[in-house]
């Protein structure tokens, strides 16, 4: 069963054709990074306009690369929440038009559910229940995932998302946008013990996160060090900041895995591309007998394949949306 999945929730125009919830026949992702880079972050209005320009071409390319036709599709799936409202509306309008024209069922999908599902597409053996850490530019979410895609939310961020902290720290350090990969690369040549940045909320016996204070701590440290003429190498700042983020993410995830007796950890979202996070999570997971799964990069960051994947299961369970489907900037997975 072929489903076209569309995602325009943020700064990527994405469309994919997926067969039977898992077989990725095409996965087209058009990034807007260059457009937003000069502003040091995503400008929502520019994102919407760019989606409008690109969406038809991206969908067309997804169909062609899958060597498919619209007639072969059995459903259209689209991210309709959460995300930038103007951006989401572009994907939703495109999906509704196609569903109407080709008389196909339409499904509105939660973007976070897509990220959680992404690992399942790459790893057939991903067991249930497992603990899923979704870390991206907009979200930091710790969830227990049970058989049948049933979720229990354990914790989330109180302020900035992990990726947002990376992006803002990189912007402050003048490193460019998005900052995650830049900091990750710099950190490889830095001393992670050079600066003792705070580990926010690590001492709290819950699964909540907070990265705003850490971001501010980096800023104060750099301001003071610059004034005193004692600024350490940028690589050391990057490595020390990353060590703080990774330690908090890993320890809270491992704590949850132990508490829930989970034998697997599902690491997903754009920040799951982070080399240190992957390595530390794998090491810590091995110590408690939990296997760590992370998707290939093209399924880590925003994509339409994960949306089509989730839709397959919802479709099998009889879920459909009407042509009155709307977009929403917020939306929980439970």
Phi, psi dihedral angles at 34 (to 5 degrees): -60, -35
Q: Does 269 bind ligand KG4 (CB under 6 A)?
A: yes
Q: Does 137 bind ligand KG4 (CB under 6 A)?
A: yes
Q: Does 114 bind ligand KG4 (CB under 6 A)?
A: no
> Applying CB under 6 A, which of residues 22, 181, 260, 313 lies at the interface with ligand KG4?
181
Question: Residue 19: enclosing H or E segment and its boundaries?
Answer: strand 12-19
Other Cβ atoms closer than 10 A to 52: 17
Q: How far is the CB of 42 from ligand KG4 (least distance, A)?
A: 9
Cβ proximity to ligand KG4: between 146 and 278 the closer is: 278
- Binding mask 273-292 toward ligand KG4 (x if CB under 6 A, else -) reads xx------------------
Are the CB atoms for 168 and 39 separated by under 8 Å? no
d(Cα 196, Cα 221) in Å, to the nearest integer? 10
The DSSP call for residue 231 is P
Q: Does 138 bind ligand KG4 (CB under 6 A)?
A: yes
Beta pairing partners, 150:
146
Q: Does 167 bind ligand KG4 (CB under 6 A)?
A: yes
Are the CB atoms for 119 and 293 separated by under 8 Å? yes
Q: Does 180 bind ligand KG4 (CB under 6 A)?
A: yes
Which residues, 311 to 330, sit near ligand KG4 by CB under 6 A? none
Q: How far apart are the first and last CA of the chain?
A: 26
Q: Does 10 bind ligand KG4 (CB under 6 A)?
A: yes
d(Cα 270, Cα 159) in Å, to the nearest integer? 18
Residues that bind Zn ion (CB under 5 A): 136, 302
Q: Does 271 bind ligand KG4 (CB under 6 A)?
A: yes
Chain residues that interact with ligand KG4, rule: CB under 6 A: 10, 136-138, 163, 166-167, 178-181, 184, 269-271, 273-274, 301-302
């Amino acid at each position: 069963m072929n489903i076209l999945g569309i995602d325009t929730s943020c700064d990527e125009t994405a469309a994919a054709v997926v067969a039977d919830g898992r077989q990725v026949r095409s996965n087209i992702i058009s990034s807007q990074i260059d457009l937003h880079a000069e502003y040091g972050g995503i400008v929502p209005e520019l994102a919407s306009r760019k989606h409008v320009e690109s969406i038809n071409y991206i969908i067309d390319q997804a169909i062609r690369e899958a060597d498919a036709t619209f007639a072969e599709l059995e459903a259209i799936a689209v991210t309709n929440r959460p995300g930038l409202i103007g951006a989401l509306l572009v994907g939703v309008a495109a999906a509704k038009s196609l569903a109407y024209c080709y008389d196909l069922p339409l499904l509105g999908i939660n973007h976070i559910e897509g990220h959680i599902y992404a690992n399942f597409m790459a790893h057939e053996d991903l067991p249930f229940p497992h603990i899923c850490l979704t870390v991206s530019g907009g979200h930091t979410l710790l969830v227990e995932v049970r058989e049948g895609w049933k979720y229990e939310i354990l914790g989330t961020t109180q302020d900035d998302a992990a990726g947002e902290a990376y992006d803002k720290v990189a912007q402050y350090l003048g490193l460019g946008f998005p900052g995650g990969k830049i900091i990750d690369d710099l950190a490889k040549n830095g001393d992670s013990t050079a600066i003792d940045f705070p580990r926010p909320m690590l001492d709290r016996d819950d699964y909540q996160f907070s990265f705003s204070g850490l971001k501010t701590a980096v800023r104060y440290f750099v301001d003071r060090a610059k004034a005193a003429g004692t600024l350490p190498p940028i690589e050391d700042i990057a490595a020390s900041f990353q060590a703080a983020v990774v330690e908090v993410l890993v320890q809270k995830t491992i704590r949850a895995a132990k508490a829930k007796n989970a034998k697997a950890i599902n690491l997903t979202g754009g920040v799951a591309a982070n080399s240190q996070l992957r390595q530390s999570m794998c090491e810590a997971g091995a110590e408690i007998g939990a296997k760590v799964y992370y998707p290939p990069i093209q399924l880590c960051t925003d994509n339409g394949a994960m949306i089509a994947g989730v839709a397959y299961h919802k479709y099998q369970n009889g879920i459909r949306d009407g042509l009155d489907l709307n977009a929403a900037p917020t939306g929980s997975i439970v």
